[in-house]
Amino acid sequence: MIDKIVKNGLCLGCGLCSSVLGEKECKMKLFKNGFNYPVVDKNKDDHIIRELCPGIRVHDYKKHGLWGHVEKVAEAWSKDSYLRFKSASGGVSSALALYLIEKHIVDGILQVGVKDDSFLYNELKVSKNKEDIIKNAQSRYAPALTLSSLKQILDSSMSNYAFIGKPCDIAAINNFKRLYPEYAGRIKYTISIFCAGMPSYKASEKLWEQSGRSDNPVYLKYRGEGWPGNFKAVWKDGDTYEISYNDSWGKVLNRHLAYRCKICPDGIGLLADISVGDSWNTKNGYPDFTDKEGRNFCFIRTERGDELFSSALNAGYIDSRVFNMESVKNMQSYQYSRRHFVGWRIFAANMVTGGLLDFKGLGLTRLALHSDLIQGLKEAFGTLKRAFRIRKEMNGIYNAHHIDKE
């Protein structure tokens, strides 16, 4: 099953399979295309992988509108000005994390950060104080072994956690908690960031190579220190290279996304307690990336999320104001379009994979049937061509690794 998922380009590289099966049975490796994939000697535990893998299984059971199930919507930001400045946008997820830690509601925050011995590679971190939260606050536009140590962290103590991650990571957490209910109460809150896709590590290399230097930097920042903030690379000799978010994400990073991101059923955190996005100013009906003080819009999706948001607001960790739901369409025009048309893409991809994708209860079929038919057919046909091409490429990449291994 794992081989089939990877060879069809459906693996997200989160590492949850490795955490559950163990590294001896399933080890994550970085491949030449700049993405992480699991390597197994032979297919086993197909039932577990089919139920666990967020690349192929995303289920929800709440009633969905255009933006999913939303109890409340708000525009918000961290009241800690330094935390807000260091964060990718308004710092709400970090402020909520800080509230949970300082009020002793959870023992740690599970979130992605750069590896201690690296400037580029990312892994799951456990933030236990404000310093940790600030260090791990910024966006990391590259692959991450988000969940490769999840079970090991949970097994190492009886601590309770909140989790901050991408929508696909939240789907993985939900799958894990359903399969292993003994851990369910230990991850008390899930906070999702809006996501438009995961770029390859190769994309980051292309960015710093634009500086004209051939050697690796020692520090990378994708966003933050302003909103949206610039991409910045720093070398050992103090030399720096810096470009705008529009030039980094808009012209390089988003052109090197994983194939699975092209058919993603959830970029807006449908399964989280709270999902958080950039509350962009708009200009001529589209997001305006001019640097300003960061703000988030927040979809509060569960009663638990509502209680957390309200408590943090009352305790002075965040500030908030009334937000018009209709504004999200222009702020998040890509997500708005994807919600309408990704159902067509998923239908086409499932034809190629023989029904491997198991996405249910997300409202995508209804939205697709009410979308523009001609555009929907174009999306489906384009995905068919891409799916066959990706399968051929991935078979070559994955098989070559096994040959090298032998």
For the segment 340-379, what is each residue's pLDDT rounded down to a tens digit?
999 999 999 999 999 999 999 999 999 999 999 999 999 9
pLDDT at 105 exceeding the cut of 90: yes
Distances from the Cα of 291 to the Cαs of 161, 320, 382, in angstroms?
33, 20, 35
pLDDT at 289 exceeding the cut of 90: no
Query: Is the CB of residue 235 less than 8 Å from the CB of residue 217?
Result: yes
pLDDT at 291 exceeding the cut of 70: no
Query: What pLDDT score was predicted for residue 285?
Result: 53
Cα torsion at 266, 139, 397, 52 (round to 10°)? Answer: -40
pLDDT at 404 exceeding the cut of 70: no
Confidence at 406, pLDDT banded by 50, 70, 90: very low
The highest-confidence range among 85-94, 235-244, 279-288, by mean pLDDT, is 235-244
Which residues, 6 or more positions from 27, have their beta carbon under 8 angstroms from its beta carbon?
18, 38, 39, 40
Exposed (0-12), middle (13-18) or buried (19+): which is 251, by Cβ within 10 Å? middle
Reading the block at residue 278, the tokens are 């950039």
Instruction: Write down the CATH number for the domain with range 72-199+255-335.
Output: 3.40.640
Q: Report, as an integer, the average pLDDT of 274-297.
A: 74
Query: What pLDDT score was predicted for residue 328?
Result: 86
Query: Is the CB of residue 266 less than 8 Å from the CB of residue 244?
Result: no
Query: What pLDDT score was predicted for residue 400?
Result: 79
CA gap 177, 292 in Å, rounded: 39
Planar angle of CA 297, 325, 191, nearest 5 degrees = 35
Q: Report, as an integer, the average pLDDT of 159-171.
A: 97
Closest CA to 35 of 271, 216, 203, 267: 203
CA gap 371, 377 in Å, rounded: 10
Confidence at 60, pLDDT banded by 50, 70, 90: very high
Comparing 89-93, 190-194, 338-342, the range with the smallest average pLDDT is: 89-93
Beta bridge partners of 29: 37
User: Residue with structure tokens 């029904």?
Assistant: 355
| High-pLDDT (> 70) share of the chain, % | 95
CA gap 233, 222 in Å, rounded: 9
CA gap 185, 28 in Å, rounded: 27
Confidence at 252, pLDDT banded by 50, 70, 90: very high
Query: Is the CB of residue 312 less than 8 Å from the CB of residue 92?
Result: no
Comparing 50-54, 237-241, 242-246, 282-286, the range with the smallest average pLDDT is: 282-286
Query: What pLDDT score was predicted for residue 284?
Result: 59
**Between 65 and 237, residue with greater pLDDT:** 237
Reading the block at residue 181, the tokens are 């209910």
Mean pLDDT of the chain: 91
pTM of the model: 0.93
**Between 190 and 88, residue with greater pLDDT:** 190
Reading the block at residue 34, the tokens are 């700049």
Reading the block at residue 55, the tokens are 């690349």
pLDDT at 288 exceeding the cut of 70: no
- Side chain identity, residue 39: V
List, for residues 215-232, the tens digit of each pLDDT value: 999 999 998 777 888 899
**Between 125 and 290, residue with greater pLDDT:** 125
